[in-house]
Structure 1
Amino acid sequence: MAPTTSHLFLLSGIPGLEESCIWISIPLGIIRIEFHGCLAQMFFFHTFSSTESAILLAMAFDSFVAICNPLSYTVVLMHSCIIQMGLAAVARGVALVAPLPILLKRLPFCKNIILTHSFCFHPDVLKLACASIRVTIIYGRALILCSFGVDSVFIVLSYTLILKKFWALLPGKDGLRHSTHASPILSLSSFSMSHLLSYP
């Protein structure tokens, strides 16, 4: 698999995940949703978000191998490896998000608060609870740090090594023209910070 082919293969997963998040969030805006439907919606939305973050990490790794070690690219990133990375991204998303509905199902809900999003967003649902939500808040923040936080660190590391390689090959101002890898870093960091700051 050529470097551009695998990168495009990984990139093709992001629009599908974005569409899934959009279609999952639509029912709440159209009709009233029951509690179990809200939990299912929240589970799938957060699972797809975590999977998208992992795919951005896989793309960063793909770019790192293609640029910093191009001779071993076809050995390191074979078709089976790309498929395993995709499956690991989905499995990680499911494993990290699965406890959220379980923790929420144990809470009593009595408040009548208008949700700030058009879907069942975890921090919004927590505001409806009348019991202590400390454990759920701690798990929600740990989930963000374990998925988006860890992914952000490795993406920044990967693109830092890529830029270091560019600057070594292209000294002077020419190296700055190739610093186009900031968009995945900025999008993931803004996404994770907005999630982290939305918890009460």
Structure 2
Amino acid sequence: MPMDIELVPPTLALRDEVADCFADFAGTAVDGSGITDPSRTPRTDDELSEFIARRLAEEDPSTELADGWVHCTSRWIREPGTGQVLGFLAVRHQLTPFLLEVGGHIGYSVRPGARRRGVATAALAQGLEIAAALGIDPVLVTCDTDNTASRRTIEGAGGSLEDIRDGKRRYWIGDGERPVRR
């Protein structure tokens, strides 16, 4: 059963909660967060402010992005009541060749201390709602071939396995026309 969660835009008001969440990952991959190097998470208020500003700017379609980047809706997964940040979700508005191969439209991660409680299931369901509101259909979601929990989450959300590429299982959710490789 999915856990009750809320998705909130990145905000400096949750600096302590997000710092605690990053610490729980202990330098491992933080998919869906916008962190490209998990050993270098934002630590100071200035670093976190800059990180948040970049995440929010990526959401705005008028923002010019560097080559290889796409507009993206970033959300922090939060537990109502406690306010604890449980993880991260990113809904990418388009697919680059790299995202089509291995990254997908939706990326997410749940902090180790909150896994196996239905957080990913609830976050993916809400991420699919965001994608639908953006007109994305079908949605590509990927996971590592050895990530059984994520595989089950994606399949439970209706994901249909297309194939496995570069160690990633590639699933499509939705009935729209799938993009083709170039």
- TM class by smaller structure: under 0.3
Report the TM-score when normalising by structure 2: 0.27
Q: TM-score, normalised by structure 1?
A: 0.25
Q: Give the structure with the higher percent strand.
A: 2
- Asked which structure has the greater CA Rg, the reply is 1
Structure 1 or 2: larger helix share?
1
